[in-house]
Chains A and B, each alone.
Chain A
Amino acid sequence: MLIQLKGGRVIDPVNNRDGVGDVFIEDGRIVGNTEGRTPDEVHDVTGKIVMAGAIDVHSHIAGTNVTLGRQLMPELPLLAAEGGQPILPSPAALGSYATGIRYAEMGYTTVIEPAMIPTHAIEAQTELAAIPIIDTAGLVILGNDDYTLELLRGGRVKSDELKDYVAWTLSHSKAIGLKVINAGGSEAFKFNARTFDLDEEVPDYGVTSRGIVDAMQKAVADLGVPHPPHVHCNNLGIAGNVETAVATLEATQGLPIHFAHIQFYGYGDEGEKGFSSGAARLMEAVNKHKNATVDVGQVMFGQTITVSGDILRQFDGRRAANPKKWALNQGEGNGTGVVPYHYKSKSFVNAMQWAIGLEIFLLAQDPWRVLFSTDHPNGALFVRYPEIMHLLMDKDERARWLDGLPEAARQHSNLAEITRELTLSELAVITRGAPAKLLGLTDRGHLGPGAIADVAVYTEQKNKTKMFSAADFVFKAGNLVVRKGNVVRVTWGRCYHVEPGFDAQIEKRVKAYYDRYFGVDPSWFGVTDAVTHRPDRFATIPLKS
């Protein structure tokens, strides 16, 4: 069946397209030349904006960590709704089903869960499979696990075995890429460290954080995994940590790397409060290091919960828990910490965090390397995305928000001086084209012929919050799933992953290792197609040649 989206303004920066025209869909794909053919279905989208479906590169939507947060704080959606956030006041509003529905309504069609625990990959993948409509993929965490650290012991890298181990882990969990969270820091926490820096050695193992990240970058590059290591640096959330982020960037030696939720590393320690914006310094370094991409991790005011494999940081963060409760799960590798948090516009630090995130977006010279995220739910719930898009695209809206912030925050932030407003095309880059390119999902994020027919249509209007809250139409793989901001059809998406090869010896070694230390057979936590009963659930993406 040939579907025509007729007469909309098509924003497709990947294909240098910004103008009025048509988009054709057939058999779940975008098609090009349809001359002489009569479409079976025509949607008149005159005056509307047509974009590819949006892609979220970093959003905690599934797995043990997320569900630990749900267990700790089922009242989160109720508190958020009470505070005026656009969410249904029901514990189910952040459940798997509602997650897919709400993402789709906003025009999102692919979302990446960034923190699968290797031994808990089955839960993560089962939860992802329970999310309707959107496609998903998971990043699997290594870098604080004993097996990796043994291979890096004393800085003597057993690189071939590490490469095999990374490949085996990616394959075993059906992940699309590798996540490294506070490399070595969570392991140091197990030895009672309470802080951990880039050049500190992990107790007993004698390898530095820098050494772990470096080895992982090389392993991933050697394997040809399209998505580079997705790194959560040391010292998250600490005043003065911009220096850590810059040092980590400089340590990357030109190899591809992705830094997650960089806003949380944009902090200087100047001024009378010892907390200042490091956005300019950070973005100077990001702009210079063209091998690096980042996602922002924008903060928005209101109730949320922080969910992280950075257990060391979460342990420290427990003191700021609001409501006053927290859970730390000390498990294999990183473990997890969940700490409720309420960002307040009257708080100097929170206001600065909000401003720093926006500064980062707006100081980016290359939007292809500075991607949209809130690190959901850590900076803000994903339901807040439309408000952030509004702030990025409308300087008057920013001024309005700034007026409500503490005087000290306004003085210490440079946001008021930034007049840049992101264009629709730039927004399409940071929410579509760039995430697709970064993930190696080249069949999406654009509207060129052959692309998967994930399409979002919006009504252009000054109020961008309204515009992006409810898409007029969303097509997922060619199926009309959203109309006038409401889901009209529930479909089930696919999960993308890589299958890098490895020396079969690693399977024997890993089996012996788990048997000895855990009394466990690795097959117990290996993800297979049986995670769902949908036969086409998993799709392998090609490696770089």
Chain B
Amino acid sequence: MSALKKAQGRRLNLDSALERAAELLARARFPLFGGLFTDIDGATAALALAQKLGGVIDHAASSGHLRATRVMRETGATPASYGEVRNRTDTIVVIGKSPLTRDPELLKKLFPGEPGLPRPGKNKRELILLGLDKPSASTMPKGVPTTAINGKASLPDLVALLAAATREGRFDIRDKALRAQLEAAGKRLRNSAFAVFVYDPAELNEPVLHTVLETVRHLVKTTRAATFSLAAPGNGDGVNLCATWTCGLPVRTSFARKVPENNLWAYDTGRLLKSGEADALVWIDALEGEPVERPKDAPKGAPAIVLTSKPAKAGRGDVVIQVGCAARDHDAALYLPPIAGIGVVKAAKPNKDNPTVAEVLNRIAELIESKGLGKKGAA
């Protein structure tokens, strides 16, 4: 087959898939836009379509991030950027196993070995590991005094105990060695010029997040302190920022009523599919990496429209649309942890064979519009 014919064939397939997707979505009462492993353009388009159809948006890897957002709404937040943590801290506390599991190079990045920017105080930089053992030497930065505080206590207990030790509060534990470690760590934190707690919110529950935040707030009465949260996978931070500037709320927001409504429990993808409340699913998975696992408990008959840049198995009745992979096939705006914000990543191997997520969703919106289908969601 000639390249032209191949392209034409793809075009025809795409057109009919788009038509079918538009029909399915226009018929849905409460369509769910899930997965959302996409760039800012893709998220913008998904939000626009969800608003238009009175649907709901969720992101497949944002549970932790959303818990942190809820804590923020309740009491606030004290984040520091990657650059500030790397350059200006004298004490870094890594909480839990997840940060180093997700990024084995993290410690080397945060302790780069050569002098950073001017920083407060005269302390030598130190590392405290809470709830994990020292990792292998190959992932450890050279010459950084390190204390690993671990043992039988659970991670939430360790965080609470360190919080108490930092406040010089009384706490009762039998393990004398652990007590000594905690007290030393608490003292070090009080004497730090800039201490930062590093964690992955996906590993911590809300009470623990509150405890960490309150410890920072205790420290900042006399010194400088902050938190550094690992970004959610799949551009979760970027998608959430985009949702927030669009409708004032992060993901797990429904546009079914006049005013958008955010609810971490009610608008969770798994629950919406299991309960049958969502009657159509748009599943978006268009970033580098392993395919994002789709919830398996969708009720029979709920059609799925899958926008993916990966090989996909189509279920019966599913519409699968191959899309470009953001930052591989096309330039993409994504949340970039090193700048603690949204940046643009150039396409690694530019390839225009497939449309982008945004192009597909915008085209579906146009088709719904031109056919006079769909209903108006929240403003």
Contact = CB atoms under 8 A, between A and B. Distances in A.
Interface of A: 62, 64, 66-67, 70-74, 77, 88-98, 117, 119-120, 122-123, 126-127, 130, 146, 190-192, 203-205, 315, 321, 324-332, 516-520, 523-526, 528, 530-531, 533
Contact of A73 (B73, B116, B331): B73
B214 to A, nearest CB: 12
A533 B48 CA distance: 15
Given A62-B245, A90-B259, A518-B86, A525 B339 contact: yes
B79 interface: yes
B248 A93 contact: yes
A518 B338 contact: yes
A127 B245 contact: yes
B7 to A, nearest CB: 22
8 contacts: A67-B245, A89-B259, A95-B246, A130-B246, A190-B194, A321-B76, A325-B72, A325-B75
B250 interface: yes
B342 A332 contact: no
A70 B40 CA distance: 18
A92 B260 contact: yes
A327 B247 contact: no
Contacts of A120: 339-342
B150 interface: no
Interface string B316-348: 000000000000000101001011111111100
A67 B241 contact: yes
A71 B73 contact: yes
Interface string B204-242: 000000000000000010011010000000000000010
Interface of B: 40-41, 44, 69, 72-84, 86-88, 109, 112, 114, 116-120, 193-194, 220, 223-224, 226, 241, 244-250, 258-260, 262, 331, 333, 336, 338-346, 378-379
Contact of B379 (A98, A204, A205, A516): A98
Contacts of A126: 40, 333, 342
Contacts of A204: 118
**Highest count of chain A CB atoms <10 Å: which of B82, B193, B248, B341:** B248
Closest 6 pairs between A and B when the two form their complex, measured CB to CB:
A91-B248, A524-B343, A120-B341, A331-B81, A204-B118, A90-B259
**Highest count of chain A CB atoms <10 Å: which of B193, B340, B343:** B343
A96 B344 contact: no
Contacts of A203: 118, 120
Contacts of A528: 344
Given A72-B73, A92-B379, A524-B344, 12 more contacts: A71-B77, A91-B259, A91-B262, A95-B248, A98-B379, A190-B120, A192-B193, A326-B76, A327-B77, A520-B83, A524-B343, A525-B344
Contacts of B81: 329-332
Given A90-B379, A331-B81, A518-B83, A96 B338 contact: no
